[in-house]
Amino acid sequence: MSISPRAHPDDAELAMDRPKRSDVERWQPARPVEARPIESAPVHTQPIQPQVVQVVPPRRGFDPIGVLSGIVGLAFKVVALLILVTVLWALAGLVGVGGNVTGGVGARVSSALEQGAAVATGIAQRAADALDPAHPPRVALSQDQEIDEFLRVGVGSEIAGSSTRTVTLSAIQRRSDATSPDAALYATLHSDLRQSNDTKVFGVTVRSSRDPKDDYLYKGETVRIGAKLYKVNWISVERQQMALILYRDQDHVTAPIKASFD
């Protein structure tokens, strides 16, 4: 029995994480790798062109408080300017002539102050009215008497309301000597007692009267028929009619009563 010689195992074969090599292939040590710099491609740069950006301010809605404050501020500035001008004018008058001039300076100063206050008040009032479309009228209005009923009566018609007398429009006439159109026409109201007044002697009627009476009314005058107060609104000769309006507030009528029928 002979023992054949065997080559000594390579150190690489003893390493478990390395692949097994044949006897012919021997382990070669790793060669150093030469590091070469990486050549990058040339970068072509272009100049940056500046761009203009237009900033649009945001749109704001209507600011009534700002507008009102601006108008009030303007009014106070106007008043301050007027006061300054007035003071300068007063100083010029004091330095200028004498007693007569200085006597009127106070009046001019007072008048200017009143005008400035009126202007400021008017501007503030107009600004407040612009924010309140339903504001009441700022000028004095001519108010008519409030009415509750409109009654149109023709000649020959009876006006109801009196419990003791019958009231009838008997005529509408024109005056030739009238000084105004309202005094040119008048209406005649004829009334009689509903129950005649009889005078009896020993049970015998010796006198009977219905007490006829005529009253004359012009446009604008007031008449009471029963418990109601009427005002003559118009009188027309062409229509042969008269219009009466019933006062709405009977307790506060202050006009004088031309005729009264209970």
Residues 194-230 have pLDDT tens digits of 999 888 777 787 788 999 999 999 999 999 999 999 9
Give me the pLDDT at residue 149, please.
92
Judged against a pLDDT cut of 90, whether residue 108 lies above it is answered with no
Q: Is the pTM of this model over 0.75?
A: no
- What tokens appear for 22 in the block? 């044949």
Pairwise CA distance, residues 232 & 185, whole Å: 11
pLDDT digits (tens, 9 = 90+) for 8-48: 555 545 445 555 555 555 555 556 556 565 555 555 556 66
Give me the percent of the chain exceeding a pLDDT of 70.
Answer: 67
Longest pairwise C-alpha distance within the chain: 203
Give me the pLDDT at residue 141, please.
83
- What tokens appear for 215 in the block? 């009253």
Q: How remote is the C-alpha of 191 from its chain's centroid? A: 53
Domain ranges of the chain: 64-131, 147-261
Give me the pLDDT at residue 187, please.
97
Lowest mean pLDDT, pick from 100-109, 117-126, 184-193: 100-109
Confidence of residue 258 (pLDDT cuts 50, 70, 90): very high
Q: Is 242 exposed, middle or buried (0-12, 13-18, 19+ CB in 10 A)?
A: buried
Contact 161, 226 (CB under 8 A): yes
- What tokens appear for 114 in the block? 């009143």
Q: Using the 8-state DSSP alphabet, how is residue 250 labeled?
A: G
pLDDT digits (tens, 9 = 90+) for 244-254: 999 999 998 99
In DSSP notation, 126-194 reads HHHHHH-TTPPPSS---PPPPEEEEEEEETT-EE---SSEEEEEEEEEE-SS-SSGGGTEEEEEEEEES
Give me the pLDDT at residue 98, please.
47
Judged against a pLDDT cut of 80, whether residue 93 lies above it is answered with no
Contact 185, 235 (CB under 8 A): yes
Judged against a pLDDT cut of 90, whether residue 115 lies above it is answered with no
Pairwise CA distance, residues 138 & 141, whole Å: 9
Q: What is the mean pLDDT of the chain?
A: 78
Q: Which residue has the tokens 């070469």?
A: 36
Q: Would you say the C-alpha torsion 74, 75, 79, 85 has a positive or negative sign?
A: positive
SS3 233: strand
